């Protein structure tokens, strides 16, 4: 079983972490705990020490009586040189509860106590479980801090909704339940199951030139695609992102191919497609482009131009025609209002995709350029999974879980035979 480091910061929910630690030990993990000074006002060290059977550390200058050993390990003869020995040896680091204050420090790289310094030095995966009053949780500063951490690959264990510690208040901000905290730890410990898989993700919105300055574009930020790429990399895949215009931050683990237009995106995807196992087509690709883009900037004095548009090539259609049976192809459909899911189902069948992720862009606060999404994932197996409004990282996890299911269920032979025929025709 694994060495798990638990960081406890200051909040009433610290008592729930005691139970999570108990569950982790019952599962067989060796747990050490570090606490912020404020957290000790909520739950004393003695409780965590008694449950873990190991001393609890609260400060950087305190010697560790166990000299960096986890329960069940022999105590070394010499004390470790570094105050960060515990995190250096941990296989997972869970920070629960993560107070608003600690989240802010983590997001900005502060290292002013043992818990935050350990997070900066952690060679292992890190999860944070926020817990606070709902107004603190919903505050844009806290949300931005969480988004920043998530972008860096920190796993967020979302808080629950219900009665809050402050009398009579109800809302979001309750620390995840102990079993969920344990599950988050176990998720960090799972081996990278996508090792050896090659994932191709298309991202952002294409820009079709009107002249040398202006273009027809769309509001896609690339955030959903980057979240998918980040999650695929976290699962161990080799990831290539073909990105048109984006405002989000691409994950550093992915190979990035920059493009502008639908035609460039199509060429880049065609080049990369052959060697990919999973295609996640999350880019917003223009359907129309100016038929004759001007070779210079159009002058205002020459009057209002009339744009003639022509259709762009069907990128996904061209790739599907060349697909191998073992490739999993996922499309995305931004649909407007009632009938979004039905329309997505039609697109999945028409384009012969394995799955399609439908989001209703008529709803405010989700989808284009937002940090959150609410989607329905439809699959060729007939499954329909709705992911309630949540961060794009969480939606990405659900999409990749569906890809995993699809990879376990090979296509029907008849379908495969058709695909073989198409693949020859398409080359």
User: What does the binding site for ligand FMN look like in residue numbers (CB under 6 A)?
Assistant: 9-13, 36, 38-39, 99-102, 131-132, 136
Q: Could you give the CA distance from residue 6 to residue 52 in angstroms, rounded to a whole number?
A: 11
**Which one, 59 or 196, has the nearer CB to ligand FMN?**
59
Least distance CB 164 / ligand FMN (angstroms):
8
As beta bridge partners, residue 128 has 95, 156
Give the DSSP H/E element, type plus range, for residue 255.
strand 255-258
Q: Could you give the CA distance from residue 271 to residue 249 in angstroms, rounded to a whole number?
A: 24
**Which one, 11 or 125, has the nearer CB to ligand FMN?**
11
Measuring CA to CA, how many Å separate 374 from each of 240, 371, 389? 25, 11, 4
**Which one, 10 or 125, has the nearer CB to ligand FMN?**
10
DSSP secondary structure letters along 369-384: T-SEEEEEEEETTS-E
Token pair listed for 282: 């999350």
Answer yes or no: are the C-beta atoms of 340 and 358 closer than 8 Å.
Answer: yes
Least distance CB 141 / ligand FMN (angstroms):
12
Answer yes or no: are the C-beta atoms of 359 and 374 closer than 8 Å.
Answer: yes
Q: Do β-strands 309-311 and 288-290 pair in parallel, antiparallel, or remain unpaired?
A: antiparallel
Least distance CB 9 / ligand FMN (angstroms):
3
**Which one, 8 or 377, has the nearer CB to ligand FMN?**
8
Q: Could you give the CA distance from residue 152 to residue 128 in angstroms, rounded to a whole number?
A: 12
Q: Could you give the CA distance from residue 277 to residue 70 in angstroms, rounded to a whole number?
A: 40
Least distance CB 107 / ligand FMN (angstroms):
12
Helix and strand numbers (H, E) in the chain are 14, 19
Q: Could you give the CA distance from residue 115 to residue 37 in angstroms, rounded to a whole number?
A: 10
Least distance CB 131 / ligand FMN (angstroms):
5
Least distance CB 119 / ligand FMN (angstroms):
12
**Which one, 12 or 361, has the nearer CB to ligand FMN?**
12
**Which one, 109 or 365, has the nearer CB to ligand FMN?**
109
Q: Could you give the CA distance from residue 94 to residue 103 in angstroms, rounded to a whole number?
A: 13
Helix ranges, 251-391 (H): 262-273, 315-321, 340-351
Token pair listed for 326: 């073992």
Catalytic residue set = 218
């Amino acid at each position: 079983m694994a060495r798990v480091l638990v960081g406890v910061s200051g909040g009433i929910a610290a008592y729930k972490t005691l139970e999570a630690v108990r569950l982790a030990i019952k599962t067989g993990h060796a747990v050490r705990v570090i606490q912020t000074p404020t957290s000790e006002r909520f739950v004393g060290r003695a409780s965590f020490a008694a449950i873990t059977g190991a001393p609890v550390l609260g400060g950087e200058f305190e010697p560790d009586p166990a000299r960096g050993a986890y329960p069940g390990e022999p105590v070394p003869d010499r004390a470790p040189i570094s105050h960060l020995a515990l995190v250096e040896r941990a296989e997972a680091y869970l920070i629960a509860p993560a107070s608003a204050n600690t989240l802010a420090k983590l997001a900005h790289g502060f290292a002013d106590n043992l818990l935050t310094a350990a997070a900066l030095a952690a060679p292992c995966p890190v999860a944070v479980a926020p817990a606070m009053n709902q107004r603190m949780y919903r505050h844009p500063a806290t949300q931005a801090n969480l988004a920043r951490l998530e972008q860096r690959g920190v796993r967020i264990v979302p808080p629950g909704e219900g009665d809050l510690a402050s009398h009579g208040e109800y809302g979001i901000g309750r620390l995840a339940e102990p079993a969920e905290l344990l599950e988050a730890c176990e998720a960090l410990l799972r081996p990278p199951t996508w090792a050896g898989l090659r994932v191709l993700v298309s991202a952002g919105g294409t820009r079709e030139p009107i002249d040398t300055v202006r273009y027809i574009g769309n509001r896609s930020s690339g955030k959903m695609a980057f979240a998918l790429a980040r999650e695929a990399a976290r699962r161990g895949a080799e990831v290539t992102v073909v990105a048109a215009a984006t405002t989000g931050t691409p994950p550093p683990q992915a190979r990035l191919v920059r493009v502008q237009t639908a035609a460039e995106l199509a060429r880049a995807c065609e080049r990369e497609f052959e060697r990919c196992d999973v295609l996640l087509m999350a880019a917003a690709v223009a359907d129309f482009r100016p038929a004759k883009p001007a070779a210079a900037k159009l002058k205002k004095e020459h009057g209002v131009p009339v744009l003639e548009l022509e259709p762009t090539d069907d990128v996904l259609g061209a790739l599907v025609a060349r697909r191998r049976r073992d490739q999993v192809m996922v499309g995305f459909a931004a649909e407007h209002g009632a009938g979004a899911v039905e329309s997505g189902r039609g697109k999945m069948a028409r384009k012969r995709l394995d799955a399609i992720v439908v989001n209703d862009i008529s709803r405010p606060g989700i989808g284009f350029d937002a940090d959150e999404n609410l989607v329905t994932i439809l699959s060729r197996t007939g499954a329909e999974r709705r992911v309630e409004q949540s961060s794009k990282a969480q939606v990405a996890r659900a999409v990749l879980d569906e890809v995993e299911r699809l990879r376990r269920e090979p296509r029907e032979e008849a379908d495969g035979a058709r695909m073989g025929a198409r693949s020859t025709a398409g080359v």
